[in-house]
Each structure stands twice: as structure tokens, then as C-alpha cells.
Amino acid sequence: MAGARGLFIPGPTNIPERVRRAMDVPMEDQRAPDLPDFTLPLFADLKRIFKSEEGRVFLFPSSGTGGWEAAIANTLSPGDTVLAARFGQFSHLWIDLCQRHGLEVEIVDCDWGEGVPVERYADILAADRGHKIKAVLACHNETATGVTSDIAGVRAALNETRHPALLFVDGVSSIASIDFRMDEWGVDVAVCGSQKGFMLPAGLAILCVSQKALAAAKDAKLHRCYFDFADMIRTNNDGFFPYTPPLQLFRGLRAAVDLLLEEGLENVFARHHRLAEGVRRAVAAWNLKLCAKEKRWQSDTVSAILLPEGFDSNALIRHAYRRYGLSLGLGLARLNGKVFRIGHLGDLNELMVLSALGGAELALRDMGVPIKAGSGVGAAVDHFHQTGTTLAVAAE
Amino acid sequence: MAGARGLFIPGPTNIPERVRRAMDVPMEDQRAPDLPDFTLPLFADLKRIFKSEEGRVFLFPSSGTGGWEAAIANTLSPGDTVLAARFGQFSHLWIDLCQRHGLEVEIVDCDWGEGVPVERYADILAADRGHKIKAVLACHNETATGVTSDIAGVRAALNETRHPALLFVDGVSSIASIDFRMDEWGVDVAVCGSQKGFMLPAGLAILCVSQKALAAAKDAKLHRCYFDFADMIRTNNDGFFPYTPPLQLFRGLRAAVDLLLEEGLENVFARHHRLAEGVRRAVAAWNLKLCAKEKRWQSDTVSAILLPEGFDSNALIRHAYRRYGLSLGLGLARLNGKVFRIGHLGDLNELMVLSALGGAELALRDMGVPIKAGSGVGAAVDHFHQTGTTLAVAAE
Amino acid sequence: MAGARGLFIPGPTNIPERVRRAMDVPMEDQRAPDLPDFTLPLFADLKRIFKSEEGRVFLFPSSGTGGWEAAIANTLSPGDTVLAARFGQFSHLWIDLCQRHGLEVEIVDCDWGEGVPVERYADILAADRGHKIKAVLACHNETATGVTSDIAGVRAALNETRHPALLFVDGVSSIASIDFRMDEWGVDVAVCGSQKGFMLPAGLAILCVSQKALAAAKDAKLHRCYFDFADMIRTNNDGFFPYTPPLQLFRGLRAAVDLLLEEGLENVFARHHRLAEGVRRAVAAWNLKLCAKEKRWQSDTVSAILLPEGFDSNALIRHAYRRYGLSLGLGLARLNGKVFRIGHLGDLNELMVLSALGGAELALRDMGVPIKAGSGVGAAVDHFHQTGTTLAVAAE
Amino acid sequence: MAGARGLFIPGPTNIPERVRRAMDVPMEDQRAPDLPDFTLPLFADLKRIFKSEEGRVFLFPSSGTGGWEAAIANTLSPGDTVLAARFGQFSHLWIDLCQRHGLEVEIVDCDWGEGVPVERYADILAADRGHKIKAVLACHNETATGVTSDIAGVRAALNETRHPALLFVDGVSSIASIDFRMDEWGVDVAVCGSQKGFMLPAGLAILCVSQKALAAAKDAKLHRCYFDFADMIRTNNDGFFPYTPPLQLFRGLRAAVDLLLEEGLENVFARHHRLAEGVRRAVAAWNLKLCAKEKRWQSDTVSAILLPEGFDSNALIRHAYRRYGLSLGLGLARLNGKVFRIGHLGDLNELMVLSALGGAELALRDMGVPIKAGSGVGAAVDHFHQTGTTLAVAAE
């Protein structure tokens, strides 16, 4: 197929040229005497992305799922209880992982399209006088539904009830794209992956862990070795790793972190918000609805868009891919066939969003969905025109 | 600046990933015993792009301008007369080059926006009973104005007058994008460059030369060495080169030719036409005018679009570049400040065109040009929807 | 530092250009409808590398250590007994991992420099009439000492005693470089990583698992989720993955498998043997000794070379790296400071080996180790000259 | 063929990774408003490589041969006389180019293996009282024979005779590798190419031109357009180009110039000298002879090595290439079959030289040339050991 493909799934995201080049290097010596000159500052700068001074960053060669596993395996023991809300495929999967590791999960089921029910969390925590709940799980951005939750609110609920449970946050599709504040929000384990806001291929779970969670590791009885914090700490302290690290990904991560810090995290967040709002204006102009049920929950990294009754989103997505090289996100689990998702995170700008919207309009028209050609793009153009640019121009 | 830039100038054009990877190789041995296994089939396949069985292909490390120079230096002598029409910056520059090499140029000046005046050529050739005119120059696609000329018509004019002049065609921005027929049209030297339809960086002049032109080289008295056909022929026959060849570009050229032949030349031309028509529909929806004065002259590789009085196209182009990373083509020479150009050639598809149009709309709105946001993109979407796709899906 | 660095550690190994280019691609859609056209044949061809028709291949985003964990977590239960020999750092670490997962390990300690003690294994298995031993672990190639063990012998010991234990083999630094026969040797789980014979960056554990081991998974009680075979099987069957896969590594793996199959596995093994023998001839010419205590244990992928008393191998390795850009392998654990290792596996040829040997000679001379300059290289040159080449010339 | 190939021809040379990555970029806008921010400092830094403050640098998309043509076409008129010595294939070809442009060449023929005959030049210039000689040509480093000439001596000869002729130097295989001093030596046109000391693919002629030569352009009557200095000056002054420039090569050139300046030119020259001397020690240990007839003429960028009577260097080179992936330089013209050349310039270090020498020993042994395996490498190792390193370690 001629021309560049358009990748607008909510991860893995487009790799910036500079990151791609940084990874395209000959193999290196994993025990080179000068490797720590590279790795130690990288760890330090990663903490800035998490907005953490207290925490410690871990890099596991794995997907984000491995990060979920690392979070619990290092801090909990079989039979421990955790509190978690389920309102989409990814919040569901973390719960499933906990259960398969022998944890008791107190599940709060919500409508898909809602976020973490902060009030219900507060009620449950208040009722848990015996502190049976050892950890509270919260999915910061539910990628399946395009919903962002209020993590500060969860922290407030814990604080108000003086509950000592650890707070674990799935920030896979939020961190580095949407404001996230490790220390301020008292997050104990924040789990991220390389393939979303970090703009890299999948292959790295990136965690930030509080001192409280590290202390909890001492009594945690879940088996662990590959994902063991202690093995990492022992070698990371000198800038090395307990097993062969994925050095190309590290080189790419260095470049990605440089890009983020050069643009400035707040500028990155503002850019995501502005571009996301362009997409939402287009959805409105098409007379389609978002899966996110309230404005406060609309995600700045992914929009899940409901098709009208009678249209199959899988067919739309297949058509867009095969005919126009446009990748949109599938509807997952119960949303399958009903929504298509536009990922608008990572290395993104106005031109790319307009291309995604234009391509979506074309595919929607081809499939007979009653939208007016140009309406969505026009709404986004108007929005971008009116709001000016907030792009920091990084010295490429 | 975050995200991918949008390059929509009429050359150099976007490099396909496969071509880019093909060039990203360690340096090779320019005299390796197996180099001819690579170069000889490449020459053979290049002839297919020119639609020539009779001709001979030359690859000079130079820009297209060097190709113009090679064309005349190998075939003409100081004081020879050539016939040429001038209707844009590039047709002008070839004339200038001829004059600086001591040739007499019979110049036919036309309005910028018109193509080769076939009838006037016919009249002049008919009047030239003494055959003082040794060569006829024709710019197949005037990149400055977005005008495609009728080369078959020029050949007909030569045939009707039984004029023996050589026919030289500047196909820099047409060949490999717009139908070009070396043998059928009796072209004697076709000049192309690597950086347009061949989707490569600049650096190669790609010529196809007829046996008649090669024979003319024997008596041609213009000095030449770097651009000498004879030196090339002597070494090319064995698959080698008279001086160090740009091997990375050759590797890229191989990949580009493969892409063109896999898609099929006629499909490539149809794709260019369909995408170009999408751009023209958008221009019409914006109520703007093309520089090309008649429909028959509208180029399928570049559209030069006139801004309304009072607007400065340079300011528009600067703004689009600086704020949105969108590169549009400048107006050249007398068109400077008056037109902006959208290059729609090479490795291009619907998504990319929609991105260019969306970005242009945004920049036009920012500059206060009275267009309706979404109108152009909508017209293109409608056109693409109605015409289906003619893309051949190459096995990437 | 000018010039190319020389990487001669026993992994991660040099990445072939073709593999490197295959990985240098824009991000792809992990749920693209045509992804299975790529992944399903890849799984099929990977089985050929393991010489398995019966087994099933798994690709986990992790290092080889994760592969060890996957092997036991999917097949065993807490308290199960496994038999394992320890004769180097990597055989030690797998034992450690088992213990940390609550397994009982019957450890057979051997001298470092020896391989799996097949006779002692046979005695122990014969004595285990109650079949308490659920799995037998064997490190095919101990990377720390340069020792290759007799896996067929271990299988024979199991067969002779009709012992039903599973046979798990660490083939991280053997598979794809040294002959390995999954089905013929009755291996139940073979663990490999991407960064040795597969010539890729670290980041993939590559496992082949027998039907017997897959059946054992049904009753295995060790917790697992990230490394769960069942989740993989469910999605792999359709060509997809349970979590975001590292697509760039998969593209590289495809290219690496193509290279291996084009050269032919037996040619790959013969090449490794011939090059390894060149290194061993050099070591002998230097009057130095290998860590491997007997010829039958000498590894074709890595040589651990003992320095004379009074010399510090760490200093040698640091000097070679800093001054000449030459990476040699450290001595690990009890061998630290005593040996340096030359990795001779993966994408390697005579020129590269001669460069490693020449560089080692230079560094050894600089450090005052009494060797004759040129002696080692000369011995290798003589060996290569006498044995001719067995390189299959792949059509690059 | 497995493993990395070894490229030890005297150009094109190995591309440093950093340069290669710098070139692997998407296409750029050749008229971008910020392009001058990139090009103007590049021109300035290139002058530092030529050691020129007075001169002006030109970048023509062409090979070095085009640079020769640019030198004369811009400064001389048909019938002008130039003085030139011929002592190898490249000094011969420049003479040929002059003749084909209608110049009279006073040729001084020397034995191949000698350099510019400074005394004879002095005699001829002294005898040319009428200043018929308009330009003196000197090949700084004759790539065919591995001979470096005394350019300061040629300048002295001009100065002593107060001869006003322009001094043109072919520095294609010397500049950026061997000390060259544009201003101090009063060079009027220095011609270089991208594919030797600049460590890039072929495709750029890089010239430095004195004010005296620029002034001469005003009266020069040779036809020129593609290679015209004036067109370049007009556009280069603003940071742009008269025709589409090869932007990828420019990006690579920027990286290469950075590497050279970071290492320090004098360190670069010292590195070349030390590595070259290692090669010469090896040649002596093999009991073979260099083509360069005297020590003062031995080139630090290429060694042409004579085979004993009865051996065919073409067969040796073919064998080394086909069997070991080792590229050595052919003997050219009258040296064909008699010499093989080792290029030791550009991105080179000890490991690479040892690899070239080891590979050459292996190929020589295979061909039956009576050398002792290891002797050459050993001599080079001893030399490198004794002279320590002069490598500047650049911050890669």
C-alpha cells in the first residue's frame, strides 16, 4: 500500500523519529564499565516523569501486565484482600491477575463508561475498620472505554479514613500523557508500560514504587523472582541489571524522556488535552457519542466512540485498515462491535489528528454511517484555530 | 515539535519506509565482484519505468539540473539552435542552462499556467526547412505552475513536419507519477531526478536516452567529462561506474523501482490522478483557483493554488511550517507570494492527502483567508468515497 | 572513539544488519487483521529451530530468566522436588529461582568447568523409586564457564530408569548455535532468549514446550498470570497475544529465523564449531587454559579463558573496553577476576574472530601477560586455512 | 554470509554509526525557513576542516570527479595551459578531464610510486616567464599507489618563481585524514569528496576555493551551469541551494564534521598515521613491498602492496571478498593484478586494522603466497602496544 499508514490506536503508539533512531544501534555490552553513566541518570529522570522524589523506578523487560504482577508479587501475600473497581477490560484484567495469584479482591462493579467510584471506595474503606484491605487498585485511565479517573480522590478517601492500605495505580495509558503525581497523590505503586506515553515499542514495564511499598516487600509472601524488586535494587544501585536488559529499549527510553522533558510535562499534558478536545468536537459534529458517560471522565489519551445501532465497528475498523491503512482501536469485550477507539496520545500533533479524523470520516462514509463529510475535521480545525497552539517546539 | 511533520512540497517527496530501510546499510565495495548482479537488473528495470525498450538509462550522481546538462552536453555543439517554450520557473531554467552552454535558444514565451504550445511548435518546425533546430525541449510537468504538457503532441508536430530534431523532455516531476512513454512518443532524452516520483533523496539524475541521441553524441562538440555518456557506457556495460557511485541511493532506487513495479505503473498513475483530483475538489470547495489555466493542463503531481488578492502566500507557508510542521511549496519567481503549492506525488495515499488538506485549512483559517473549515476535506472525502480505491496493495 | 566497537561477549550478541533493519520500522497495529499472516508462520518456523514437531513455541516479553520462571510456574506446584546440577553461575541462578518459588531442589554440585554429571543423575533417578522428582533441570551450555553438557545423556538416564520426571533444558546460549534436538532428546521445556543465537536484543524469552509439559500445566499450582501458557495459547491460536507484544522484536525474530534457515541449521552449527576451534587454537598458542576441564565439554559458543596467577581479568577487560572498544566477557561469581570470556556465537565469521583475537592479544600485551604477539591469530589463521570454509552464503 | 563484512578499500569508507543514523531521516523541506540555521554553520565548520579562513566552501551533488570539473570550469578558459604530474590512475584522470575540456596540459610523467616532482615543477614554472601556465595541479594523495605528495613544496615552488598560476589540489583521499592546510599552503581550489575522510556515501563533491580563484571565475570562459560557483554563492549566502540539495547527505556531513572536530583534527591525523604504520609493519613482516617508492611518500590513508611475481592480486581480492567478506582495493590500470590495496582511512581503529590484516593473512595463505600466519598481525600488535593510543575518545 502506498504512503504512510496511520496508527491511531491507544497504544502501542507512534514512535518519534528521534526515539526510533536512538534504538537503531549496534548491540552493546550489558556489563560495560561506562553503562552506569547512562543508566543512573535515566532512572533519575524517570522519577521526574512520575513526579516523584521519594519513589524508586523499576524497569522490567515485560509488558504492562508484568508491571501489574510486579506490583502485587512484591508487596502482598496469598489471601490478602485488595479493593478494586471494574469498569472496562483493563480494570477487569488486573482484578483477574490478582485472583490468579491467590488474592481476595473486593470488586466494585461500575458501568463501563464510568470511572473509579471514589465515594464507594470511601465507604468501603471506612467500613474496613480491621484494615483487611491491604491494597487499593485504581485504573487511572481505562483504555477500553476512554475514561480517566480521579486518583487524587482515591487518595483523599484513604486519608479521610486513615486507611493504611497501599495505593496501586494502573497508569499505563495515562502516565507521560495525562497529569500524574506520584508523591502528591501518595501512590505506592504506579505501573506504566513503554508503548503509550513513552512512545516506545512494548517490552518495558516502568514502575515507580514508594518507600512504603518497598518496606512492604519485606513481609510479602507471594513468590517472585523475575519481577523481584530486591534483585533489581541490588544491581540497579550500581547501574546494572540482574539479567540481560533490553538495551535498545533503554536507549529509546532515554530519547523519549528527553523529548518529554524538553517539551515540558505540563506542555505535553496541555497538548494532549487540546488534541483530544479536537477529536471530541469532531465526534459531536458527527452526532456520535462517546463511551465516557460524563465530561469529567473523558480521557485525553483515547476516545471510545459508539456507533449507531445497526453498525458493526469491527467491520468499520477492518475496512479502514485494509482500504486506507488507518488503524483504529477495536471495542474490547462487551464493547466489541459497538465502539471504535481513536488513540490520541504520544507523539501527536494537529496534522496527525486531522488525518485520523479525515480517514475516519472516509471509512464511516464508506460503511454508510450517516455523517457529513468534512464536519468532524471542520470542527477540529475550528477548535485548533480558536485555541492556538500550545506546542512547545523542541529542538529536534 | 511533537508528531510527524507533513511534507507536501512537489519534491523532494516522502521516502517510503521500505526505501529508507534499503538505504540504511553499511558502506559497500564499489568494485565488488558481485556488484553487477545488482546493477545490471536495476538498469533493465529502470527502462520499464520509462516505457522504453530501445533506450539506455544513465544514473549520474547529481540533481535533475545535472540531467539537463547531460542531455545537451552529450548531443549538441556550441552554436546549435534549440526550440523551447517558457511557462514557468523550471522551463525557464533549462533555457538558461542551454544559453550558458553557448546554444541558441528559440524561446516561445507562454503565460504561466499554460503548457507547451504544440501548435506554435508545429508552426516553427514547419518553418525551419533548413533544420537549423537541432533539438526541441519540452517540460512535461512544470513544477512551478502545476501544468502538464502534451508530449505526444510535440512528437506529432515533429513527425508531421518530418523534422529531424532531437526531442528532449524534462520529466523530473512527471516520470514514475504521470504516464510517460519514451519509445511511443519518440523521446530522445528524458531527464528525471531521484527526488520526485522515485521517492528518494535528491542526488541522482536518471536519464533515458534513445539510440538516435547516443549516435548524436559522436559529433557533439560541447565539452563534457563528468556527464559523459561514453564513460558511463564503457563501465556500465560491465555493471560498474567511471567514478564512485552513490551506492546507498542505488539500493534505495532498487527498492523504489520494486515498489513501482509491484503496484504497477498504471495503478501508480491512477492513484496519482485520483489523489490529485481530491486536492482539486478541495481547492474548488475553498473557492480558490489553480494556476493551471485549463483542465487539460492540470497536473496530477502538484497543484499551484492562487491566494486571493491581499494575502501573502509566503506568510501562509511560513506559518504552516512553523506552527503545524506542514511543508507546502512556495510560489517561485513571478508567482512568489501569490501561490502556494501542494505536492501530491510519490508515496502518497488518502490519509496523507486529507492531512495536507486539513492542515492547509487550518493554516488558511489562521491567516484569515475566507474558507469554510472542513469544506475542502469534505469535498475530498466525498471524492475518495465515490471513486473507491484504485490502490494496488503491494506486499510490504 | 573512532571505528566500530568489537562485541565478543557471550550475549547479547551482534545483531545482523538484516535483523537490525527488520526492527527499524514504524509502530504497527497489534490487532491488525493481517497480523496472524505474520505471526502464525513465525511460530511454525521457530519449531524448526528447536527441531520439534510435537512441541509448542511461546514468546514472552522477558529475558531468559523469565523463561526459566515460565517453565516451572506452568508445570509444578509448591513443594515439588526438582533435580539440578550446579557448575556455574547460570545453573546456580536457575536453582535459586526454583527455591524462591517454593520448590525443593536436589542439588548436585560439580566443579565449575564440568558439565551435567549424567552418571550421578542416573543414580539419583534410579534411587527415586517414588518419583518424588517432578522435573530434571539441565543447563545445556553454561555461559559462565564455557561448558556444554550432554542432554541426550540426561534423556538416556531418564529413559533407562523409566523415570517420568519432566526434562527442562536451559538452552539460552546453545539453541540456534549448537545442535539442539527437542523431540529426539525428549525435552519438555526448552528455554531460550532472543539475545544469543537468535541475534536480537534481549527482551524475548523463547520457549518450546512438549505436550507432556502442557498437560502438566493443568495440575500445576504455582501462581502465574504474566507467564501463563494458557492465556498465550488462547490468543496465539489466532495469531494474537494476551497483552501488547513487542512487535519490533518479532519483526527482527522473523529476519533472524530466515537467516538461520537460509544458512541451514547444520551449517550454522558447523560454522560455530569451526570458529570456536579457531579461538581454542589461539588460546593454546598463548599457553593459556580454558575453564572447561575436558575437551568434550568445550563450548562452541563461549570460551572462558583462565589468566595466569597474578593477573586480574577485570583489569584486562576494562582496559580492552576503554582503550580499544573491545568487549570481552567478565568472569562471574567465583571466577571473577580469574577468567575472561570470548563469546563466539551468533552473527560471526572469521574476520570477526580474528579481530577479537588480535584485540585480545593487544590488550594482553598491554597488561603484561606473557604472550607472543601474533601467535594466537596465527594459530587461528592456520586453522581456518586448513579447514576451509563451511559458511553457507545466504542471499543477503 | 554470516557476520559483518570488512571494508578496507580506500573509499568509499566505513560510515560511522552516528553518521549513518544522522542520514536515516524522513525527507525534509528543501526550502524550510529554518534550513539556513542548519546549513550556514555547516559551511562555516567545513572551512575548519580545510584549515581555511579565507576560502569558500562549495557542496556539489556529484562525485569527486565533478569537483575536478568544477575547479577548472569556473576558473579557466578553453586553450589555457595547466601543469600536472602523472604518477597514478587518479592524477591521470584529472589530466584527461582537463584535456577533454579543451585545456593544454603540460604533463610531467613520473614513475607510479613517486609523488609530485616538486623540483621539476619548480624548473618548469621558472621557465614559464610568460605565465602561460594558468593553473598547477597536484594530487595530494594518489589513491592508486598509496603516495602522498608535498603540497607545501609545490606552493614553495610557485612562490620562489613568483608564478601567479592557481594551485589546484586533489585532496579526495587526504582531506580530513591527512594534514591539509588550505590557507597556509596557498591552495586555490581544494577538491574533496564525501566518501573518504568524510566517512559518508559518495554523492558530494566538497570544495574549498580561495578568493583568488573566485576572482578568476569572472573571466573564465569554460561553459558551466551545474557546477557554477556563482549560482551556488547567490543561494548559499542565504543558506539555500540553486537546485534540490541532497539533504540526507548534508545531515550526515554535519555528524561527520562533528565527529572530526570532537576528536580534533590533529588527533585524527595522528590516529591515521599510527594505524597506517601498523599496516606497514605488517607488510614488512610479510616480506612484501609497498608501491610507494620512498618512505616520505607513504600514504597514511592507503597502502598499495605488491604481490610477488607469479601471483594475481585480482584473484586474491576476489577470494577474500567471496570467502571471507573482506574487501580489499584492486590494482588500477597498469597496477592491475600486481597490487592489492588496504584502505586505512576514515572511521578506523586498532581492532579494525587487525581484522583487515588477519583477513589478508588468511586470504594470502589460501592463495599460496608465502607468508607466516600471524606475522603481520603480530607486528601490528607490537606497534600498537609500543605506541599506546592517541585516540581521542569522543563522547558518542
3-state secondary structure B332-381: CHHHCCCEEEEECCCCCCHHHHHHHHHHHHHHHHHCCCCCCCCHHHHHHH
Q: Are C375 and C251 in contact (CB under 8 A)?
A: no
At residue C306 the predicted structure's pLDDT band, cuts being 50, 70 and 90, is very high
Q: What is the pLDDT of residues C13-62, one digit of tens each?
A: 999 999 999 999 999 999 999 999 999 999 999 999 999 999 999 999 99
Q: Please state, in angstroms and rounded to a whole number, the distance separating the CA atoms of residues C357 and C359.
A: 5
Q: Which of A82, A188, A191 is nearest to A141 (CA)?
A: A191
Are D15 and B26 within 8 A, CB to CB?
A: yes
- Residue C389 — pLDDT band, cuts 50, 70, 90? low
Tell me the chain A residues in contact with residue D24 when contact means C-beta distances shorter than 8 Å: 21, 24
Q: For position A395, what pLDDT does the model report?
A: 34
Calculate the average pLDDT of chain C: 97
pLDDT at C263 over 60: yes
C73-128 pLDDT, tens digit each? 999 999 999 999 999 999 999 999 999 999 999 999 999 999 999 999 999 999 99
Bridge-partner residues for B86, per DSSP? B109
Of all residues in chain C, the one with the smallest CA distance to D393 is C1
**DSSP labels, D27-52:** ---TT-TTHHHHHHHHHHHHHHHTT-
Q: Nearest 5°: phi and psi at D254?
A: -60, -45
Q: Which residues of B touch D4 (CB under 8 A)?
A: 26
Q: What does the pLDDT read at residue A196? A: 98
- Scanning chain B, the segments in alpha helix (DSSP H) are 17-23, 35-49, 64-73, 89-100, 118-127, 151-160, 211-216, 229-236, 247-263, 265-285, 313-324, 350-366, 375-387
**For the purposes of burial, counting CB atoms within 10 Å of the CB of A309, is it exposed (0-12), middle (13-18) or buried (19 or more)?**
exposed
Question: What pLDDT is stored for residue A393 in this prediction?
Answer: 39
> In this structure, what are the phi and psi dihedrals at residue A153, rounded to the nearest 5 degrees?
-65, -40
Residues of chain D with pLDDT under 50: 390-396
Q: Do the Cβ atoms of C21 and B24 come within 8 Å?
A: yes
Rounded CA gap, A365 and A379, in Å?
17
Q: Contact at 8 Å (CB) between B3 and A392?
A: no
C216 min Cα distance to partner chain A (Å): 18
Interface size between A and D, measured as CB pairs under 8 A: 10
In total, the C-beta contacts within 8 angstroms joining chain C to chain D are 170
**Closest Cβ–Cβ partner in B24, B326, B378 for A351:** B326
Closest by alpha carbon to A142, among A307, A353, A301? A301
pLDDT at C391: 41
pLDDT at B395: 34
From the CA of C91, how many Å to the nearest CA of chain D? 29
Distance CA A312, CA A291 (A): 15
Residues 278-317 (B) with a CB less than 8 A from some CB of C: none
Question: Given pLDDT bands bounded at 50, 70 and 90, which one contains residue B388?
Answer: confident
Taking the CA of residue A4 and the nearest CA in chain D, the distance in Å comes to 11
Q: Which candidate, A226, A258, A261, A260, places its Cα nearest to that of A245?
A: A226
Q: How far is CA D376 from CA A92, C334, D311, in A?
A: 68, 37, 19
Chain A residues with CB under 8 Å of B381 CB are 358, 361-362, 365, 373-374
How many B-D residue pairs are in contact by the CB < 8 A criterion? Answer: 174
CB contact under 8 A, C4 and D376: no
Q: Is D315 left (phi over 0), alpha (psi -120 to 50) or beta?
A: alpha
> Looking at beta carbons, which residues of chain A come within 8 Å of C246?
63, 201-203
Mean pLDDT of C267-277: 98
Digit-coded pLDDT (tens) for B51-94: 999 999 999 999 999 999 999 999 999 999 999 999 999 999 99
Work out whether the CA dihedral D342, D343, D344, D347 comes out positive or negative: negative
The tens digit of pLDDT for each residue in C180-196 reads: 999 999 999 999 999 99
Interface of B with A in 320-349 (CB under 8 A): 323-326, 347-349
Find chain C residues with C-beta within 8 A of B26's C-beta: 17
Q: Is A17 on the interface with D (CB under 8 A)?
A: yes
Of the candidates C29, C32, C243, the beta carbon closest to that of A65 is on C243
- Tell me how far CA of residue A83 lies from CA of A89, A222, A224, in angstroms: 17, 18, 22
With CB atoms and an 8 Å threshold, state whether B203 touches D246: yes
> Which string of b and e fits A283-303 if b means at least 16 CB within 10 Å?
bebbebbbbbbeeebbbbbbb
pLDDT of residue D388: 86
Please give the backbone phi and psi of residue C223, each rounded to the nearest 5 degrees, phi first: -65, 145
Residue B199 contacts residue B12 (beta carbons within 8 Å): no
**Considering chain B, what is the average pLDDT of its residues?**
97
Contact residues, chain D, for C394 at CB < 8 Å: 1-2
Question: What per-residue confidence (pLDDT) applies to D235?
Answer: 98
* Interface contact A33-C222, CB threshold 8 A: no
| pTM metric for this prediction | 0.97
| Chain D (22-81) residues lying within 8 Å, Cβ to Cβ, of chain A | 24-26
Q: Chain C residues with CB inside 8 Å of A329's CB?
A: 31
Which residues of chain D have a CB within 8 Å of the CB of B30?
Answer: 9, 12, 202
Q: What is the enclosing helix (H) or strand (E) of D388?
A: none
pLDDT computed for residue C393 by the predictor: 39
Q: What is the mean pLDDT of residues C303-315?
A: 98
The three cell numbers of residue C324 are 580499544
The minimum CA-CA distance between D96 and chain C, rounded to whole Å, is: 36
Distance, in angstroms, between D323 CA and closest chain C CA? 7
Condensed to tens digits (0 to 9), the pLDDT of residues D42-85 reads 999 999 999 999 999 999 999 999 999 999 999 999 999 999 99
Looking at C237-394, which runs of residues are DSSP E strands? 289-290, 302-306, 326-328, 339-343
Q: Which residues of chain A have pLDDT under 70?
A: 389-396
Taking CB atoms and an 8 Å cutoff, what residues of chain B touch D28?
Answer: 7, 12
Nearest to C347 by CA among C200, C199, C177: C199
**Burial tier of A215 (Cβ tally within 10 Å: 0-12, 13-18, 19+):** exposed
Q: Is the dihedral of CA B208, B213, B214, B218 positive or negative?
A: negative
C101 and A225 in contact by Cβ < 8 A? yes
Greater confidence, B213 or D1? B213
Of the candidates B243, B348, B285, which has an alpha carbon nearest to the alpha carbon of residue B14?
B348
Tell me the mean pLDDT in the region C190-216: 98
Q: Which residues of D touch C390 (CB under 8 A)?
A: none
Average pLDDT rounded to a whole number, residues C290-306: 98
